[in-house]
Amino acid sequence: MASLDPSEIESMPLAAIDVSDPLLHQRDLARSYFRRLRREDPVHYCADSKFGPYWSVTRYADILHVDMNHQTYSSDGTVVLDDAFFSGGHIENEVSKTSFIVMDPPHHGPRRSIVIPALSPGNIQKMEAGIRERTRQLLDSLPIGEEFDWVSEVSIELTLRMLAILMGFPFEERHKLLYWSNVQSGAPGDGVVESWEHRSAVMREIAERFTRLLNEKIDAPASADLMSVLAKSPLTQEMRPEEFLGTITLLMTGGNDTTRNSMSGSILAMHQFPDEFAKLKADPSLVPVAVSEILRWQCPVSYMRRTATENSELGGKTIRKGDKVVMWYLSGNRDEGMYERPEDFIIGRPNPRQHLTFGFGIHRCLGNRLAELQLRVLWEEILPRFDRIEVTGDPVRIHSTMFRGFSALPVRLHRS
Ligand code: HEM
């Protein structure tokens, strides 16, 4: 296990560095380990971790290479470090295996194509007015000058409102999306999932509710939401029930923690770099480039894992067939070879959309335009309303290797 003492990061033996430990991420120490690995051992082998041996790929160019070469670095079966997550014979794991994020060609493409129309730029544009309206309502209801938690009051709530619009899910039932998504990505003992049986029961409830919604949409007039798009697509009829559920839960969980944490991260970034906030306030036309920098800097998905299908060379190292290969997007986004002052939040960097936050290649995030839209609308609506969003205490980071985010962020709004 890597040391949790920051003073030991530079001196500990390279072979002892294990960046998979969620505590390193919760204490925001992983970034310092990545800096060292990029410099001294950019394709790093960890022989012994809680998840078994794995490779860490930490430089931008190498990550791009792995993500673009799906024949050699496969997504088949899993994209997380923990092999147990997708195995064990539970119903919910069978469903997870039917998500196209854990498929290679030729299975991946046709399933991805089914949801592409719902997340196309043109379709997302149709959702903008609804997202803006719900964002305005929420921001207008916030207290001025009083401390409150941005994560629960704003990030979680806005993400749910957006997901309800995307999925065509009843607005008043939106909190179920949060619960279901937490159960789907959870495990017994995490405070949400009581047992595997409990999780299976919730998965059945999700299947039942979404099948009912789909059937309602079949006869309703066509609209831009995902369930309507699925209902009107002949390809949906060919899906097995567990495949349908796998697709729904992928979209529900894929868009949840990620979007939420990018919103909270944006507040922390503007607080830690007040000159950048002032720049944005003075020139709101910078919001789109600010959004890209928020995504680079926060990087809500720290990594994606691949499995080597053959022996290959990467960064002078030999990766063997069957090895786990982890692309650390969080590290690539802070690669000194790509970015000047990579740890700083700077609005207006050259090529702002070049970050790795949404991955690259055939699995590149399908929701990227929607996530950008939500962040753009949020900041376009924040700027005329508030003069400062003060972070009043330490942010509470989540205990996760994969998701980089916050469970609490105390703030106070100021208006002159
Ligand atoms: C895939 C990040 C929001 C749906 C991915 C991947 C990443 C990612 C890193 C994997 C890329 C790869 O393996 O190359 C993010 C981040 C988001 C976000 C950081 C927000 C800031 C969303 C939203 C949705 C969504 C809002 C939809 C509701 C998906 C889907 C995939 C995916 C369906 C699988 C694509 C495939 O396997 O072909 N996302 N995502 N994501 N994301 Fe997102």
Nearest CA to ligand 1 atom 28: 255
The verdict on residue 266 lying in a domain is yes
Asked if the peptide bond before residue 6 counts as cis, ω within 30 degrees of 0, the response is no
Q: Give how far Cα 411 sits from Cα of 104, 140, 261, 263, Å.
A: 43, 16, 15, 13
Decide whether any atom of ligand 1 lies within 6 Å of the 355 Cβ: no
Contact residues for 51 (Cβ-Cβ < 8 A; gap 6+): 20, 81, 82, 83, 324
Q: Is residue 199 part of a domain?
A: yes
Q: With both helix axes pointing from N to C terminus, report the angle between 241-254 and 175-184 in degrees, rounded to the nearest 10.
A: 110
Give the pair of three-digit tokens for residue 81: 């470090």
- 253 CA to centre of ligand 1 in angstroms: 9
The answer, yes or no, to whether any atom of ligand 1 lies below 6 A from the CB of 306, is no
Q: Are 314 and 62 in contact (CB under 8 A)?
A: yes
For position 48, what pLDDT does the model report? 94
Residues 139 and 111: beta-carbon distance below 8 Å: no
- CA nearest 271: which of 391, 393, 150? 391
Q: Cβ(118) to ligand 1 under 6 A?
A: no
Q: Is 67 part of a structural domain of the chain?
A: yes
Instruction: Return the number of other C-beta atoms located less than 10 Å from residue 236's C-beta.
Output: 17
Residue-level pLDDT at 224? 85
For residue 152, the domain's CATH number is 1.10.630.10
CA 304 to chain centre: 10
> What is the structure's pLDDT at 89?
41
Indicate whether 385 belongs to any domain. yes
pLDDT at 197: 87
Split into its structural domains, the chain has a count of 1
Q: pLDDT truncated to tens, each residue of the chain (416 aa)?
A: 677 888 889 999 999 999 999 999 999 999 999 999 999 999 999 999 999 999 999 999 999 999 999 999 999 999 999 887 655 444 445 555 678 999 999 999 988 998 998 999 999 999 999 999 999 999 999 999 999 999 999 999 999 999 999 999 999 999 999 899 888 877 777 788 888 888 889 988 998 999 999 999 998 998 889 999 888 888 888 888 888 888 888 898 888 889 999 999 999 999 999 999 999 999 999 999 999 999 999 999 999 999 999 999 999 999 999 999 999 999 999 999 999 999 999 999 998 899 999 999 999 999 999 999 999 999 999 999 999 999 999 999 999 999 999 999 999 999 97
Q: How far is the CA of 293 from the centre of ligand 1 (A)?
A: 17
Q: How far apart are CA 6 and CA 414, in angstroms?
A: 35
Q: Which of 227, 264, 358, 375 to mutate to test the pocket of ligand 1 (most atoms within 8 A of CB)?
A: 358
- Flag whether 1 is in a domain: no
* pLDDT tens readout for residues 87-119: 544 444 555 567 899 999 999 998 899 899 899
Buried b / exposed e along 141-163 (16+ C-beta atoms within 10 A): ebeeeeebbbbebbbbbbbbbbb
357 lines ligand 1 (CB under 6 A): yes
Nearest to 174 by CA among 267, 256, 258, 232: 256
Which pair of tokens denotes residue 169?
């899910």
Residue 354 pairs in a beta bridge with none
Pair type for strands 54-57 and 324-328: parallel
The atom of ligand 1 lying closest to the CA of 252 is 28
On whether the CB atoms of residues 178 and 188 are closer than 8 A, the answer is no
As given in the structure block, the two tokens for residue 130 are 């609804």
Task: State residue 88's pLDDT score.
Answer: 42
For ligand 1, atom 37: residue with the closest CA: 101
Q: Is the CB of 375 under 6 A from ligand 1?
A: no
Ligand 1: centre distance to CA 11 (Å): 36
CA distance readout (Å), 44 to 58, 160, 244? 8, 38, 38
Domain range enclosing 331 = 6-414
Regarding the beta carbon of 265 and ligand 1, being less than 6 Å apart is answered: no
What pLDDT is attached to residue 91? Answer: 47
Tell me: the pLDDT tens digits for 219-231? 899 888 999 988 8
- Output the six-digit token pair for 187: 């495990």
363 lines ligand 1 (CB under 6 A): yes
Protein residue with its CA nearest to atom 25 in ligand 1: 367
* Alpha carbons 263 and 266: distance in angstroms, whole number: 5
